[in-house]
Amino acid sequence: MSVRAVSEEAQDDLLGRGYSRRQLGRIATVFGMGAAAAATMGRPAWASAGVPDPAPTAKVRIGANECWTGPLAPGQAAAAGIIAMGNRYSPHDERGDFIKAVMQVEGVAYDHVAPWPGSSDPLSRAVVTFCSPTKALVTADPTFELAGRTAGWLGAPVKAIPLTADYAHDVKAMVAATPDAGLYYICTPNNPTGTITPVADIEWLVANKPAGSIVLIDEAYTHFAGVPTTSYMAAAGKDVIVMRTFSKIFGMAGMRMGYVMARPDLIAKMMRYDGGMQSGALPLPSLACATASLTAADLIAARRAEMREARGMALDHLKKRGLAVMPTNANMFMIDWKSQPAWKMQAAFRTQSVEIGRSWPVWPTISRVTVGSMDDMTAFCAALDKVWV
Ligand code: PLP
């Protein structure tokens, strides 16, 4: 996408906020490649270095925080059922039906919901919209890096604040970090730790942040935790953007669906660059699958229980083996190998056809492991007993 594809109004706004013409080109790149570019920015270092992703060849794939199984049964049926109507852009009003399902589950108004193909695009887009060379991104360390990478790519300052002793976002230190924040990124449960930042802390952040800044709350893993969410803050018109994806508990990573909840003026700002093309035209099977899945509360709870059982079994095994595992509330946990670098342990597990997750630079001896099915975790424990003697 060329710079010209970013509207003149958006260009004026960006230049007014201190972006240079060269940075406009980079912004056009973020939106031109859409979710694909954003997802690439979020990939681990070995992927962006051009090394092929080894996960598809592993028998057990517990490295990328995907769900161990596909979409919920009603979602699969709805997606299959709509294919025959694929000749129409919109056979009924599938986008509207999806938004109505979000309204029912989250208690937000129609104009406070924007669907997207996953959450990578709106995450990068929020950084472009609310940060600038003079407005910092305030994030955590460690956390999901996409917001920080997008800000770095655009030349916006990045303040990455260490987590608290409980592995929550340190909201007081985040506010103290700079008076010039454009966007605060809160990931709860946090990737990679799986830990929760209490809603009371997020409320404190929203009440005490500098005027004009926005709090982006990424709840990608919230259904695995089953704890109170922050959608009520979006419904109440606060300075927040609450972000969800269907890539996790809903088992739809390859189908690309997600949504944000926010005040209409914040959504409109995020749409400014491309008229909201990514939000307006979503594939029918993905929309239908997401609509039927979102309201299936009993099936969601059953999947959460299944994950907890497999996680409990694996954590018991690790404890018996004397390994240090951090507390978690989601479908991932962190193992501190202490005497070994995490990349070496990842390589050791690969010899057993088990793909575990990577580490974060701040914690080089700690690996993230995604919770898979009970069979996956049984295979993980067996592999552990071979590679950790
Ligand atoms: N947010 C968090 C915390 C994630 O871990 C991920 C993916 O792993 C995403 C957002 C992006 O997911 P997607 O673009 O598949 O919705």
pLDDT digits (tens, 9 = 90+) for 121-165: 999 999 999 999 999 999 999 999 999 999 999 899 999 999 999
User: What are the pLDDT digits (tens) for 285-322?
Assistant: 999 999 999 999 999 999 999 999 999 999 999 999 99
- For residue 136, report the distance from its CA to the centre of ligand 1, in Å: 21
Domains of the chain from N-terminus onward: 55-70+298-387 (3.90.1150.10), 73-294 (3.40.640.10)
Q: Is the CB of 124 under 6 A from ligand 1?
A: no
pLDDT at residue 6 above 90? Answer: no
Label residue 2 by pLDDT band (50, 70, 90). Answer: low
Q: Which atom of ligand 1 is nearest to the CA of 38?
A: 14
- For residue 224, report the distance from its CA to the centre of ligand 1, in Å: 14
Give the whole-angstrom CA distance, residue 225 versus residue 178: 31
pLDDT at residue 25 above 50? Answer: yes
- For residue 15, report the distance from its CA to the centre of ligand 1, in Å: 29
Nearest CA to ligand 1 atom 8: 65
Q: Which atom of ligand 1 is nearest to the CA of 221?
A: 3
Give the whole-angstrom CA distance, residue 42 versus residue 144: 8
- Quote the pLDDT of residue 32: 63
| Residue whose CB lies within 8 A of the most ligand 1 atoms, among 245, 260, 332, 371, for a mutation test | 245
Residue 125 near residue 31, CB atoms below 8 Å = yes
pLDDT at residue 7 above 80? Answer: no
Q: Is the CB of 258 under 6 A from ligand 1?
A: yes
Q: Is the CB of 187 under 6 A from ligand 1?
A: yes
Q: Is the CB of 190 under 6 A from ligand 1?
A: no
Nearest to 335 by CA among 322, 327, 347, 326: 326
Residues 6+ apart with CB under 8 A from 86: 284
Mean pLDDT of the chain: 91
Nearest to 274 by CA among 153, 106, 149, 116: 116
Q: Which atom of ligand 1 is nearest to the CA of 35?
A: 14
Q: Is the CB of 143 under 6 A from ligand 1?
A: no
Residues 6+ apart with CB under 8 A from 71: 79, 250, 251, 252, 255, 289, 293
Q: Is the CB of 370 under 6 A from ligand 1?
A: no
- Average pLDDT for 255-260: 97
Give the whole-angstrom CA distance, residue 104 versus residue 92: 19
Least confident of 27-36, 74-83, 97-106: 27-36
Nearest to 126 by CA among 233, 231, 16, 243: 243
Token digits of residue 222: 């919230």
Give the bridge partners for 184, in sequence order.
Answer: 138, 215
Q: Is the CB of 147 under 6 A from ligand 1?
A: no
- Average pLDDT for 264-293: 89
Residues 6+ apart with CB under 8 A from 269: 129, 130
Distance between start and end Cα atoms, the chain: 53
Label residue 4 by pLDDT band (50, 70, 90). Answer: low
**320 CA to centre of own chain:** 32
- Average pLDDT for 74-88: 97
Q: Which helix (H) or strand (E) holds 22?
A: helix 21-32
- What's the whole-model pTM score? 0.92
* Percent of the chain scoring above 90 in pLDDT: 82
Nearest to 184 by CA among 157, 150, 225, 215: 215
User: What are the pLDDT digits (tens) for 312-370?
Assistant: 999 999 999 999 999 999 999 999 999 999 999 999 999 999 999 999 999 999 999 99
- Quote the pLDDT of residue 1: 47
- Average pLDDT for 51-75: 88
